[in-house]
């Protein structure tokens, strides 16, 4: 068994050359707000009606905030969406 290659960093720590996740998440949320996706706004997720209920500030996991900044409640449940997946009603 070979030894693992060391990169000099630990998982979850800030890497030089990468923007902090909080800043990119905030930028994505701000961009969505400028497009009109504010809390309480009625939207369509495809053809399913919903309401924006919050913003996703997650910096790790499958649905991180910079890719999916909006949290939407629909009749089918709560989901995280990007602004490109939604239409204003």
Contact 53, 38 (CB under 8 A): no
Calpha distance 56→67 (Å, rounded): 9
Q: What is the mean pLDDT of residues 48-56?
A: 97
Please name every residue paired with 77 in a beta bridge, in sequence order, or none if there are none. 74
Which sequence spans correspond to the domains of the chain?
A: 39-88
CATH of region 39-88, choose from 2.30.30, 2.60.40, 1.10.260, 2.40.50: 2.30.30
This model's pTM is above 0.85: no
The string of pLDDT tens digits covering residues 5-46 is 666 655 545 556 655 555 688 999 999 999 999 999 999 999
Mean of pLDDT over the chain: 85
Q: How far is residue 3 from each of residues 6, 34, 72, measured CA to CA in Å?
A: 9, 49, 46
Q: With bands split at pLDDT 50, 70 and 90, how would you rate the model's confidence at 69?
A: very high
44 phi and psi angles, rounded to 5 deg: -120, 130
């Amino acid at each position: 068994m070979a030894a693992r290659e060391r990169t000099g960093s630990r998982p979850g720590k800030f890497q030089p050359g990468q923007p902090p996740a909080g800043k990119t998440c905030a930028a994505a949320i701000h961009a969505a707000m400028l497009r009109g996706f504010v809390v309480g706004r009625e939207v369509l997720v495809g053809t399913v009606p919903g309401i924006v209920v919050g913003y996703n500030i997650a910096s790790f996991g499958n649905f991180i905030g910079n890719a999916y900044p909006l949290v939407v409640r629909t009749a089918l449940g709560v989901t995280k969406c990007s602004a490109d997946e939604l239409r204003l009603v």
